[in-house]
């Protein structure tokens, strides 16, 4: 592939070309020249788009697809195309398929299915067999096969000793343990954030305490064992404070926040629309503001779409019985641009690579061409026609968004939305 990208403003704080509008010559997957008015002597393909901005390729640390087992929700093939057209050059695949990705052969299966796509897929192996929370899965074998971390998607480990052993065990190969944090006993039959809205609507509540108590426990375990712990999709003000204190004390803890927790609150539940049923639940405006502050001050390391396709049979039903989850790849950038400055959005959509051990490609001459292409200014409403996923369970339908993703350039492939 030989391509000249014209008049692109580079957004990459680690690049010497940060905030400069330049031309980029790409040859065989590498950035050969960055400069102004690069001559096109060989009649190469040129790409010129309105208000084009270019950043390092984005990485999403939590994506569910479905395959194997739930292909009606999403396939790996279509899911990777959705990710590419949404600006993501890499995704971490959650293990919540059927069967669960809890062994070497399952890791190999999803990796083989993802061969040849512009968006790279990095499997997360289940921490426990069948994500049942009883016996530790084959972590070392999965790591050898290519798993980048280990966790049970949206399942909290009630057995503290098992998490302790896992944190100790993975240190032998510098592994990363993921601990979704929600005390199931305190959550009980809760389906929405415990507060004024849930009380008014008569919905069983999930108090902030369910998350915070589990995070506190997991941080105590990390302090005891050492190693690295990632806490996904934090959702409360106190959770941010706990993690901030742990980092100050030198613990190797990272965390993410989901786009929907940065943009939406439990006020959205007024019409009992199950598109807004997510785990952890949408919280209050106080929590939302605290999450945004946690991002800007550096306590929260990365943003995830927490993309989770759910078929209509498990979503279009009464609120109590519906499955939790929203798709989020297609709407991630546009939704974030309504609440955060551009540079922070880009930083937090790329920072997860370092935590998950994925090579970082700064935009510079000689670097691999791993790029996301976008326009940060276009304003629109997110509609059903914007959804590329097989499942349509988006919490962002009808929401104003800002910015447009043009596509990605990665693996010597240019994918345009």
* Residues 164-196: tens digit of each pLDDT: 999 999 999 999 999 999 999 999 999 999 999
Specify the number of domains making up the chain: 2
Tell me whether residue 349 is in a domain. Answer: yes
* Residues 244-260: tens digit of each pLDDT: 999 999 999 999 999 99
Confidence of residue 218 (pLDDT cuts 50, 70, 90): very high
As beta bridge partners, residue 24 has: 5, 34
Any idea what the CATH number is for the domain that residue 98 is in?
3.20.20.140
- 3-class secondary structure, 241: helix
Task: Please give the model's pTM, rounded to 2 decimal places.
Answer: 0.96
Residue 320 is a catalytic residue = no
* Residues 43-86: tens digit of each pLDDT: 999 999 999 999 999 999 999 999 999 999 999 999 999 999 99
Are 66 and 19 in the same domain? no
CB 143 within 8 A of CB 175: yes
Mean pLDDT across the stretch 321-328?
97
Tell me whether residue 360 is in a domain. Answer: no
Cα–chain center distance at 61: 4
* Residues 398-415: tens digit of each pLDDT: 999 999 999 999 999 999
Confidence of residue 41 (pLDDT cuts 50, 70, 90): confident
Are 46 and 82 in the same domain? no
Any idea what the CATH number is for the domain that residue 7 is in?
2.30.40.10
Cα–chain center distance at 363: 22
Phi-psi region of 90 (alpha: psi -120 to 50; beta: other; left: phi over 0): beta
128 φ, ψ (degrees, to nearest 5): -125, 155
Tell me whether residue 227 is in a domain. Answer: yes
Are 202 and 138 in the same domain? yes
Mean pLDDT across the stretch 2-6?
96
Tell me whether residue 222 is in a domain. Answer: yes
Are 64 and 45 in the same domain? no
Mean pLDDT across the stretch 2-22?
97
Amino acid 30: pLDDT: 97
Q: Which domain holds residue 160?
A: 57-355
CB 379 within 8 A of CB 392: no
Active-site entry in 50, 102, 306, 320: 306
Are 98 and 144 in the same domain? yes
Are 137 and 44 in the same domain? no
Pick from 23, 40, 36, 81: nearest CA to 363: 23
Cα–chain center distance at 341: 18
Are 245 and 370 in the same domain? no
Are 84 and 223 in the same domain? yes
CB 226 within 8 A of CB 271: no
Tell me whether residue 234 is in a domain. Answer: yes
Q: Is the dihedral of CA 120, 122, 259, 245 positive or negative?
A: negative
* Residues 133-156: tens digit of each pLDDT: 999 999 999 999 999 999 999 999
CA 6, 10, 16, 21: dihedral to nearest 10 degrees? Answer: 50
Tell me whether residue 394 is in a domain. Answer: no
Are 20 and 88 in the same domain? no
261 φ, ψ (degrees, to nearest 5): -75, -20
Are 200 and 334 in the same domain? yes
How many other C-beta atoms can be found within 10 angstroms of the C-beta atom of residue 181? 25
Tell me whether residue 386 is in a domain. Answer: no
Q: What is the DSSP letter of 368?
A: B
Q: Residues with Cβ < 8 Å from 378, sequence gap 6 or more?
A: 402, 403, 404
State the Cα–Cα distance between residues 339 and 361, nearest whole angstrom.
Answer: 27
State both tokens at 156.
């909290």
Amino acid 176: pLDDT: 98
Confidence of residue 227 (pLDDT cuts 50, 70, 90): very high
Q: From start to end of 102-261, where are the E strands?
A: 120-125, 149-150, 177-178, 192-193, 205-206, 229-231, 253-258
184: exposed, middle or buried (Cβ count in 10 Å: 0-12, 13-18, 19+):
middle
Mean pLDDT across the stretch 356-375?
96
Are 169 and 271 in the same domain? yes
Tell me whether residue 391 is in a domain. Answer: no
Are 105 and 149 in the same domain? yes
């Amino acid at each position: 592939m030989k391509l000249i990208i014209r008049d692109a403003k580079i957004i990459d704080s680690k690049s010497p070309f940060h905030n400069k509008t330049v031309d980029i010559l790409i040859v065989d997957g590498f950035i050969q020249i960055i400069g102004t008015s690069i001559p096109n002597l060989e009649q190469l393909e040129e790409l010129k788009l309105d208000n084009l901005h270019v950043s390092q390729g984005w990485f999403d640390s939590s994506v569910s697809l479905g395959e194997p087992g739930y292909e009606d929700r999403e396939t790996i093939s279509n899911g990777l195309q959705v990710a590419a057209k949404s600006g993501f050059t890499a995704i971490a695949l959650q293990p919540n398929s059927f069967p669960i990705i809890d062994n070497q052969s399952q890791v190999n299966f999803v990796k083989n299915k993802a061969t040849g796509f512009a968006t790279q897929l990095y499997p997360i192996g289940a921490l426990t067999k069948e994500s049942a929370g009883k016996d530790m899965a084959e972590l070392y074998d999965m790591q050898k096969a290519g798993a980048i971390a280990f966790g049970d998607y949206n399942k909290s480990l009630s057995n503290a000793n098992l998490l302790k052993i896992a944190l100790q065990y993975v240190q032998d190969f510098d592994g990363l343990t993921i601990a979704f944090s929600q005390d199931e006993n305190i959550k009980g039959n809760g389906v929405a954030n415990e507060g004024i809205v849930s009380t008014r609507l008569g919905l069983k509540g999930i108090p902030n305490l369910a998350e915070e108590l589990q995070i506190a426990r997991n941080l105590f375990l990390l302090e005891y064992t050492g190693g690295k712990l990632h806490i996904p999709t934090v959702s409360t003000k106190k959770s941010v404070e706990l993690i901030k204190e742990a980092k100050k004390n030198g613990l190797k803890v990272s965390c993410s926040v989901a786009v929907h927790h940065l943009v939406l609150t439990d006020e959205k539940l007024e019409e009992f629309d199950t598109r807004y049923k997510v785990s952890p639940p949408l919280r209050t405006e106080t929590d939302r503001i605290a999450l945004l502050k946690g991002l800007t001050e550096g306590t929260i390391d990365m943003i995830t779409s927490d993309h989770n396709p759910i078929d209509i049979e498990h979503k279009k039903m009464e609120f109590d019985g519906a499955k939790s989850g929203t798709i989020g790849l297609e709407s991630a950038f546009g939704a974030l641009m309504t609440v955060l400055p551009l540079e922070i959005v880009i930083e937090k959509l790329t920072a997860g690579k370092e935590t998950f051990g994925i090579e970082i490609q700064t935009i510079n001459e000689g670097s691999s061409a791993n790029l996301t292409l976008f326009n940060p200014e276009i304003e629109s409403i997110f509609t059903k026609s914007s959804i590329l996923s097989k499942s349509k369970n988006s919490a962002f339908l009808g929401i104003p968004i800002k910015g447009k993703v043009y596509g990605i350039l990665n693996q010597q492939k240019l994918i345009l939305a």
